[in-house]
Amino acid sequence: MSEQPILEVRNLKKYFPVSAGIVHAVDDVSFTIQKGKTLGVVGESGCGKSTLGRTVLHLQESTAGQILFEGKDITHVSRAELTALRRKMQIIFQDPFSSLNPRMSLYQAIAEPLRIMTDAKEKEIEDRVFDIMKIVGLAERYVNAYPHELDGGRRQRIGIARALIMNPSFVVCDEPVSALDVSIQAQILNLMRDIQDERQLTYIFVTHDLSVVKYISDDIMVMYLGQMVEKATTDELFEYRLHPYTKALLSAVPLPDIDHEKKHIELKGEITSPINPKPGCRFAARCPYATERCFKENPVAEEVRPQHFVACHRVRELNGLA
Ligand code: SF4
């Protein structure tokens, strides 16, 4: 029997009212993550991937669905329960510069979560700040530096230190390397992997960058306009991309270690509005394989290969699957 997942999300929905109607930012998304693993969530801007991560963390309340963390239903929690959860569930933001208070030194920024969420005394705070600085590779000489005095890589190391100082078991990483130069991206990704191995951390890693997601993730979930269209292990997904949208997405990036014949698939047609979406597949307006049924019925994800889920009416026929 497989272990109980650390996180289980069932039929999660997050809707936002706007003047023109209701934005279906996350619409009926389900998945599980095992402890110590990374689920990469990919898709174009506006697909709901960041909203998904933030809703799981209760940075915004869900509209419907269920979130179970360490076997406990945390969909609706009291303020006290939320404070306790915050110690275990953290976030690393995309842009370390805007997520850091410019008036706080590195020391103050890293110590802040401890001051807010614990009653640790100054000596313990100091020890823990210096410990975590060492772990994330921040030299002691920067301890009194302010964000504007540091480069992007060091600022993101502060973001990671702030997330880890509470010793969480689960971290949402929301595009944590997209604002960094490529050479620094690799350093930060390696650091995150090393820390994960040491602490058995579980990540949801939100990104639009497929090279990054391939490097960091055990499993990948592809989202399109608020819905999951494909999910599989990383190796399986890169070997057998089955949904027409995933094929187009993967065809657009240079991945030198993939032997598939690369042909860029250009997506034509208008992106469906996430405001009051019509019934049918949300990708239908851009899908070269759309039929009448696709415009009427929303496809439900089905397991088409072991642990490989795809939401497409024509997935078997298009990929020669039984
Ligand atoms: Fe394309 Fe239809 Fe599949 Fe949607 S359900 S991806 S429109 S073939």
- Ligand 1 proximal residues by C-beta, below 6 Å: 244, 281, 283-284, 287, 289-290, 294, 299, 312-314
Please name which of 33, 154, 41 lies closest in space to residue 89, comparing C-alpha atoms: 33
- To test the pocket of ligand 1, the residue of 281, 302, 315, 318 to mutate (highest count of ligand atoms within 8 Å of its CB) is 281
| Bridge partners of residue 10, in order along the sequence | 66
Quick count: other Cβ atoms within 10 Å of Cβ 220?
Answer: 26
Q: Which atom of ligand 1 is nearest to the CA of 293?
A: 2
Whether residue 1 has pLDDT greater than 60: no
Quickly state the pLDDT bin for 260 (edges 50, 70, 90): low
Q: Is the pTM of this model over 0.85?
A: yes
Ligand 1 centroid to Cα of residue 312, in Å, is 5
3-state class (DSSP) for residue 306: coil
d(CA 128, CA 188): 21
CATH superfamily of 7-88+168-254+263-268: P-loop containing nucleotide triphosphate hydrolases (3.40.50.300)
Ligand 1 centroid to Cα of residue 271, in Å, is 14
Ligand 1 centroid to Cα of residue 25, in Å, is 20
Domain ranges of the chain: 7-88+168-254+263-268, 102-166
Ligand 1 centroid to Cα of residue 299, in Å, is 8
Q: What is the DSSP string of 127-148?
A: HHHHHHHHHTT--GGGTT--GG
Whether residue 11 has pLDDT greater than 80: yes
- How many percent of the chain have pLDDT more than 70? 97
Q: Is the dihedral of CA 312, 263, 308, 11 positive or negative?
A: negative
- To test the pocket of ligand 1, the residue of 270, 283, 315, 321 to mutate (highest count of ligand atoms within 8 Å of its CB) is 283
Which token pair is 199?
A: 């602490």
Q: Parallel, antiparallel, or unpaired: how do β-strands 170-174 and 7-18 relate?
A: unpaired
Nearest alpha carbon, ligand 1 atom 6: 312
Q: Please name the residue that has the structure tokens 């404070």.
A: 83
Ligand 1 centroid to Cα of residue 44, in Å, is 17
pLDDT attached to residue 254: 67
Mean pLDDT of 268-293: 90
Quickly state the pLDDT bin for 280 (edges 50, 70, 90): very high
Whether residue 259 has pLDDT greater than 60: no
Mean pLDDT of 154-167: 92
d(CA 96, CA 133): 16
Whether residue 177 has pLDDT greater than 70: yes
Residue 130's Cβ-side half-sphere holds a number of Cα atoms within 13 Å equal to 7
Ligand 1 centroid to Cα of residue 284, in Å, is 6
Which token pair is 267?
A: 């997506």
- To test the pocket of ligand 1, the residue of 224, 225, 289 to mutate (highest count of ligand atoms within 8 Å of its CB) is 289
Ligand 1 centroid to Cα of residue 34, in Å, is 30
d(CA 93, CA 100): 10
